[in-house]
Amino acid sequence: MDRPTEASPAVVHDPEAFRAACDRARAGGRRVALVPTMGALHEGHLALMNEARRRVGPGGLVAVSVFVNPTQFGPAEDFSRYPRELDADVARCASVGVDLVFAPSAASMYPAGDQTRVRVGALAAPMCGVTRPVHFEGVATIVTRLFALAGPCVAVFGRKDFQQLRVIARLARDLFLPVEVVGLPTVREADGLALSSRNRYLSPADRARATAIPAALRAARALYAQGERGTMALLDVVSRGLAGSVDGVDYIELRDADELSIPGTPLPDDARAVLAVAVKIGATRLIDNTVLGEPDVTLD
Ligand code: PAF
């Protein structure tokens, strides 16, 4: 276990050492919170860590995993160029009082002979599941492994990856895992762009165009607030808001916020419907969403 300074979290690379550290904490009466990440940490991740601390209290153990998980990337995706900067990530974790960082190798998380995958059904099929067919199986598999090692009572994720959050909450429920899966509101730049480790791929001109994404979601929220309940009209305002600013649209979807099924139109007044987009700006794929029918402190 490396522990560079008193204020820095301990850093472990070996899965069994991570398990042992979490076991020791629980044996000592500490609650364990886990924040799974792929690193390249930003303010959005730090908000997850702060929430993890709030949930387990000052005496709890807040663990952050930093692992660019190969199984959730398709062959043509950005696995090899995904930013890896462990020292800076550990410093960011230290800045919010994280206790333990788990940074395993791919070989240790997927050892030779590994043949088990976790697959969630209908929730993983639409939206990102269409253009990224292996993605959620990879996410579900690595998150299940991380839960098995850490045994956390709570795990904190961002709502920007809305479908991912639904998939993880469902796997925890279906597998009877004793972990509370918590989703936190998206953290945004001042101009509304959702924070993402992939924003750093954007050139300044592409970064400027990306503000069309939150603007389009805001326009739909405004239309909804004026009483529009027709799903086509709500989708159309997003589509028009993005046109001319993005280079490709993977999807613009309106779905029931719990089951991700397609809601009837007009939306009933008690509907909670997630309006979600995945677009390309240059070569960069960005996602964002808002839930109509509930307040969105980040967009309203
Ligand atoms: O959201 C992410 O960063 C990843 O998908 C996760 C949950 C850490 C699994 O690799």
pLDDT in tens, 147-161: 999 999 999 999 999
Say if residue 125 is in the same domain as residue 219: no
Tens of pLDDT along 209-243?
999 999 999 999 999 999 999 999 999 999 999 99
Question: Looking at residue 4, what is its pLDDT?
Answer: 46
Query: What total number of domains does the chain contain?
Result: 2
Q: Is residue 202 part of a domain?
A: yes
Question: Looking at residue 300, what is its pLDDT?
Answer: 87
The pTM (predicted TM-score) of the whole model is 0.96
Tens of pLDDT along 119-144?
999 999 999 999 999 999 999 999 99
Q: Which of 119, 154, 184 is the last residue of a domain?
A: 184
| Percent of the chain at pLDDT exceeding 90 | 97
Q: How many CB atoms lie within 10 A of CB 34?
A: 28
Q: Which of 184, 212, 233 is the last residue of a domain?
A: 184
Q: Where are the beta strands (DSSP E) in the chain?
A: 10-12, 32-37, 61-66, 100-102, 154-158, 180-184, 248-256, 273-281, 284-292
pLDDT band at 271 (very low <50, low <70, confident <90, very high): very high
Phi and psi at 92, nearest 5°, equal -65, -40
pLDDT band at 10 (very low <50, low <70, confident <90, very high): very high
Separation of alpha carbons 31 and 181, rounded Å: 15
Say if residue 173 is in the same domain as residue 209: no
Say if residue 211 is in the same domain as residue 178: no
Of ligand 1's listed atoms, the one at least distance from the Cα of 67 is 10
Q: Is residue 167 part of a domain?
A: yes
Say if residue 45 is in the same domain as residue 89: yes
Dump the DSSP string for 127-194: THHHH-TTHHHHHHHHHHHHHHHH--SEEEEETTSHHHHHHHHHHHHHTT---EEEEEPPPB-TTSPB
Query: Ligand 1 centroid vs 198 CA: distance in angstroms?
Result: 13
Q: Is residue 100 part of a domain?
A: yes
| Interval 111-126 mean pLDDT | 98
Q: Is residue 1 part of a domain?
A: no
pLDDT at 171 over 60: yes
Tens of pLDDT along 198-211?
999 999 999 999 99
Separation of alpha carbons 297 and 276, rounded Å: 16
Of ligand 1's listed atoms, the one at least distance from the Cα of 36 is 8
| Interval 5-10 mean pLDDT | 77
Q: Is residue 190 part of a domain?
A: no
Say if residue 108 is in the same domain as residue 83: yes
Question: Looking at residue 232, what is its pLDDT?
Answer: 98
Of ligand 1's listed atoms, the one at least distance from the Cα of 139 is 9
Structure tokens at 147: 């839960």
Mean pLDDT, all residues of the chain: 97
| Interval 62-84 mean pLDDT | 97
Q: Considering only CA atoms, which of 274, 53, 129, 278 is closest in space to residue 45?
A: 53
The domain of 220 spans 197-292
Say if residue 170 is in the same domain as residue 250: no
Say if residue 43 is in the same domain as residue 81: yes
CATH number of the domain within which 236 lies: 3.30.1300.10
The single-letter DSSP state of residue 33 is E
Say if residue 241 is in the same domain as residue 114: no
Contact 83, 197 (CB under 8 A): yes
CATH number of the domain within which 150 lies: 3.40.50.620
Query: Ligand 1 centroid vs 88 CA: distance in angstroms?
Result: 18
Q: Is residue 297 part of a domain?
A: no
Residues with CB under 6 A from ligand 1: 36-38, 69, 72, 139, 142-143, 161, 164
Q: Is residue 257 part of a domain?
A: yes
Question: Looking at residue 168, what is its pLDDT?
Answer: 99
Q: Considering only CA atoms, which of 94, 96, 154, 164 is closest in space to residue 127?
A: 164
Q: Is residue 5 part of a domain?
A: no
- The residue to mutate among 41, 45, 48, 69, having the most atoms of ligand 1 within 8 angstroms of its beta carbon, is 69
Q: Which of 184, 206, 232 is the last residue of a domain?
A: 184
Tens of pLDDT along 273-283?
999 999 999 99
